[in-house]
Amino acid sequence: MAEILDGKRVAETLRGELKDRVASFVSKRGRAPGLDVVIVGDDPASHVYVRAKEKASTEVGMRGRVHRLAVDTTELALLTLLETLNADDAVDGILVQLPLPKHIDETKVLDTISPWKDVDGFHPENAGLLAVGRPRLVPCTPMGCMRLLEVAKVSLAGLRAVVVGRSNIVGKPVAQLLLAQHATVTIAHSRTKDLAAVCREADVLVAAVGRAEMIGADFVKEGAVVLDVGINRIDAPELGAGKTRLVGDVRFDEVAKVARAITPVPGGLGPMTIACLLANTLHAAELRVGR
């Protein structure tokens, strides 16, 4: 049976470390690091994530603020708000929750956030810096993946890593981070031929496809380390009529029988992502104003 990589516990440790560093920032700078989260529209899941980010930031002693904008907010109004936050010295981190309503151009929005305040690490300048081996602000979920591999004492040099999913949010940046640690990295995706065989090559398998329980035991080599980034809500009639439950991209029960270590959903990369967002906010504050 695989070791369970307990993201909840590791995230708690990380938040404890951050609390001390935030206190030291406050005593030197006379203000708390500030995180501003912007959400447009009323997607219930996105609102849950945003509340969790706000709560986590205040718990470590940061100033957390959420801008909740109506679904019919214009692109111009959103860009104007971002320019205001860019210019505000008390704002260290800016995050626009995705997805955005269809009438707003996501690329334009992400390009408008100051790269120095881009705590998601989605700005092309930060993505480019990561790609050339000079990471500055790195996307939160990939950072959480690396931290869990470190805790699991996975020595990546020379190992085969397969990342399933090629998004800018997870797939591409996590591949860059694994490569920087000298893994041999394959990025697979929905059009990859014989995906199961490609995945079976992996010593480290990162599932970031967003398809509920797609990765079964037949995708996993005996003794592999499996990181499940998926958060999918599925119907769960066994819990009662109309009930749902959260599952990852990995069939946990069967994969846990062959893997050496595996992250659960929930309680794996979810809490790690939020803790890494806080780490990025403090890092962004220190980059702009010093420690």
Would you name the residues annotated as active-site residues? 53, 97, 120
> CB of 78 within 8 A of CB of 101?
no
Query: By CB under 6 A, which span of 28-36, 93-101, 157-165, 175-183 interacts with ligand GUN?
Result: 93-101
Task: Rule CB under 6 A: choose which of 169, 202, 265, 285 binds ligand GUN.
Answer: 169
Q: Which H or E element spans position 192? A: none
Q: SS3 of 48, please?
A: helix
CB of 45 to ligand GUN, least distance (A): 9
Query: Residue of minimal CB distance from ligand GUN?
Result: 98
Beta carbon nearer to ligand GUN, 97 or 263: 97
Task: Rule CB under 6 A: choose which of 2, 82, 95, 214 binds ligand GUN.
Answer: 95
| Dihedral angle of Cα 70, 72, 73, 75, to the nearest 10 degrees | 140
Beta carbon nearer to ligand GUN, 121 or 264: 121
Residue 97 is a binding residue for ligand GUN (CB under 6 A)? yes
CA neighbours closer than 13 Å in the CB half-sphere of residue 41: 15
Residue 174 is a binding residue for ligand GUN (CB under 6 A)? no
Q: Which H or E element spans position 153? A: none
Q: 177: closest CA among 140, 225, 151?
A: 140
Q: What string marks each residue from 137 to 166 as x (binds ligand GUN by CB under 6 A) or -?
A: ---xx-------------------------
> Is cis: bond before 266, omega within 30 of 0?
yes
CB of 276 to ligand GUN, least distance (A): 10
> CB of 50 within 8 A of CB of 39?
yes
Interface contacts to ligand GUN, rule CB under 6 A: 95-98, 120, 140-141, 169
